[in-house]
Amino acid sequence: MTQAIKRPFDVNAIRDDFPILNQQVNGHPLVYFDNAATSQKPEVVIEAMNRYYRETNSNVHRGAHALSDRATGEFEAARDQVRKFLNAPSREEIIWVRGTTEGINLVAQSYGRSNLKTGDEIIVSQLEHHSNIVPWQILAQQTGANLKVIPINEQVELDMAAFKSLLTENTRIVAVNHASNAMGTINPIKEITRLAHEAGAIVVVDGAQGAPHLEVDVQDLDCDFYAFSGHKVFGPTGIGALYGRKELLDAMPPYQSGGEMIERVSFSGTTFNELPFKFEAGTPAIAESIGLGAALNYLEQFDKAQLKAHEDQLLQTALKLSADVVGLKLIGKAPDKVSVFSFVVDGLHPSDMGTLLDQQGIAVRTGHHCAQPLMEYLGIPGTSRASFAFYNTVDEVEKLFAALQKIVKLFR
Ligand code: PLP
């Protein structure tokens, strides 16, 4: 198979693709380091959605006219783009959802409620986002299952020996993230799926932070479900996708019901549509799906390893410069991380830090990052988090540390 020629990595040319980056905030050029919360959108994504509304807008499927046919074609082509992005075996295994949160809720309520019973076990980790905790807590309450938690070590990595000992013949579901939003830790999903499958459990991967930074191949990971959010992979909000193994999806009941997800409705009984439509009740987010397809198409021009190498360089620069900031403590020291730099500074509350950096045009996120159990475990109220994307530059990282030096001097 011939390898398509990739666009050479040129950060300045890439920045020109993202119109929002070129602006002043509080009198300074914007430095956008809140990419783990949501990433910025290239012009091609904005334009794909505008064009759809200007030229194509129509409802999808079953349309008896040209616009509807075109809208359906573009909408389904975007699904194919997602299939390719995840290397899923088939397009039937790609379900449109609003984002990672909805994807996980779908699995919990559809797979979980129909497969779990009292005494069964669900395993999550100490390192999860609330989206990958609360749906499982609710499922446990509904079914009488027990929730178990994989502990972490000092570097904020999963304790894999402890994970092995948590697996029992009652384990039904293991739900972990591909990469942590709060600390950046990359989790060993392949090993987790191997061990979980040996124990007879399925694996649900929260891919919200994996999809933007890592090569995702659901067949290689061998996971049973993988959910991610469009808005974190340079696409729009309100759309994401859930990959599910076909035999599991086939056996699962619908999650939501109404139009689109049915085959035939009568008052004596209703039959459901085939995959993937069985899980897509109501008019879908058409423009957003097309926007996400455009984002994945944009990403495809690049060698993902090159993007990751650039992000690693940004993280390494931050780690090096942080050693010179008095009182700064890095939180989460896993050697294998996506580009998330989470830190606290002695005597400064993270929310004050956020405000002070914002005054210098630097956008970071502060607080518990929707990972309160992790913060509680670490004994801190929260952190300041700079999360880098491939359009960020070393110069911007240096600006962050120049600003931090100023702030620390002011408060010393
Ligand atoms: N999981 C992780 C690791 C996340 O970082 C996020 C969002 O920050 C989510 C889940 C939830 O994603 P969304 O709000 O797009 O559904």
pLDDT digits (tens, 9 = 90+) for 240-260: 999 999 999 999 999 999 988
Residues 238 and 127 in one domain: yes
Q: Tokens 């599910």 map to which residue?
A: 244
Residues 273 and 313 in one domain: no
Is the CB of 208 within 6 Å of ligand 1?
yes
Residues 125 and 227 in one domain: yes
Task: Give the residue, out of 102, 127, 131, with the most ligand 1 atoms within 8 A of its beta carbon, to mutate for a pocket test.
Answer: 131
Distance of CA 273 to the CA centre of its chain: 28
Single out the residue in 300, 328, 361 at which a domain terminates. Answer: 300
Please give the helix or strand (H or E) that residue 191 lies within, else none. Answer: helix 189-198
Nearest CA to ligand 1 atom 4: 208
Is the CB of 206 within 6 Å of ligand 1?
yes
Single out the residue in 272, 300, 328 at which a domain terminates. Answer: 300
Cis previous bond, 276, omega within 30: yes
CATH number for the domain that contains residue 77: 3.40.640.10
For the segment 152-171, what is each residue's pLDDT rounded down to a tens digit?
999 999 999 999 999 999 99
Domain count, the chain: 2
Query: For residue 250, is it within any domain?
Result: yes
Residues 99 and 199 in one domain: yes
pLDDT of residue 412: 75
- Asked whether the beta carbons of 356 and 407 are under 8 A apart, the reply is yes
For the segment 65-99, what is each residue's pLDDT rounded down to a tens digit?
999 999 999 999 999 999 999 999 999 999 999 99
Which of 11, 160, 281, 370 is catalytic? The answer is: 370
Single out the residue in 268, 300, 332 at which a domain terminates. Answer: 300
Residue 130 and residue 135: Cα distance in Å, rounded?
8
The chain-wide mean pLDDT, for the chain, equals 97
- Asked whether the beta carbons of 202 and 173 are under 8 A apart, the reply is yes
Is the predicted pLDDT of residue 2 greater than 60, yes or no? no
Model confidence, pTM: 0.98
Residue 81 and residue 276: Cα distance in Å, rounded?
15
- Asked whether the beta carbons of 17 and 390 are under 8 A apart, the reply is no
Reply yes or no on whether 223 is catalytic. no
Query: For residue 3, is it within any domain?
Result: no
Closest CA to 205 of 143, 195, 95, 192: 192
Residue 320: domain span = 11-41+303-411
- 354 pairs with which residues across the strands? none
Residue 131 CA: nearest ligand 1 atom is 10
For the segment 193-233, what is each residue's pLDDT rounded down to a tens digit?
999 999 999 999 999 999 999 999 999 999 999 999 999 99
Residues 212 and 265 in one domain: yes
Residue 219 and residue 306: Cα distance in Å, rounded?
22
Is the CB of 289 within 6 Å of ligand 1?
no
Query: For residue 88, is it within any domain?
Result: yes
Question: What distance in angstroms lies between residue 348's CA and the mean position of ligand 1's atoms?
Answer: 27
DSSP state of 276: T
What residues contact 281, with CB distance under 8 A and at least 6 apart? Answer: 254, 255, 256, 257, 258, 259, 260, 261
Distance of CA 131 to the CA centre of its chain: 11
Question: What distance in angstroms lies between residue 291's CA and the mean position of ligand 1's atoms?
Answer: 19
For the segment 4-39, what is each residue's pLDDT rounded down to a tens digit?
899 999 999 999 999 999 999 999 999 999 999 999
pLDDT of residue 62: 79
Residues 16 and 70 in one domain: no
Is the CB of 99 within 6 Å of ligand 1?
yes
pLDDT of residue 285: 98
Query: For residue 4, is it within any domain?
Result: no
Q: Residue 297 — very low, low, confident or very high, per pLDDT cuts 50/70/90?
A: very high
Residues 194 and 226 in one domain: yes
Question: What distance in angstroms lies between residue 177's CA and the mean position of ligand 1's atoms?
Answer: 10
Closest CA to 103 of 208, 246, 258: 208
Residues 385 and 242 in one domain: no
Residues 111 and 201 in one domain: yes
Q: Tokens 């666009």 map to which residue?
A: 7
Is the CB of 338 within 6 Å of ligand 1?
no
For the segment 320-341, what is each residue's pLDDT rounded down to a tens digit?
999 999 999 999 999 999 999 9
Residues 285 and 338 in one domain: no
Residues 81 and 169 in one domain: yes
Residue 312 and residue 309: Cα distance in Å, rounded?
5
Taking residue 134's Cβ as centre, other Cβ atoms within 10 Å add up to 16
Q: Cα-flanking dihedrals φ and ψ of residue 278, to 5°?
A: -55, -30
For residue 37 the two structure tokens come to 């919360």
Residues 309 and 295 in one domain: no
For the segment 329-381, what is each residue's pLDDT rounded down to a tens digit?
999 999 999 999 999 999 999 999 999 999 999 999 999 999 999 999 999 99
CATH number for the domain that contains residue 353: 3.90.1150.10
Query: For residue 236, is it within any domain?
Result: yes
Is the CB of 129 within 6 Å of ligand 1?
yes
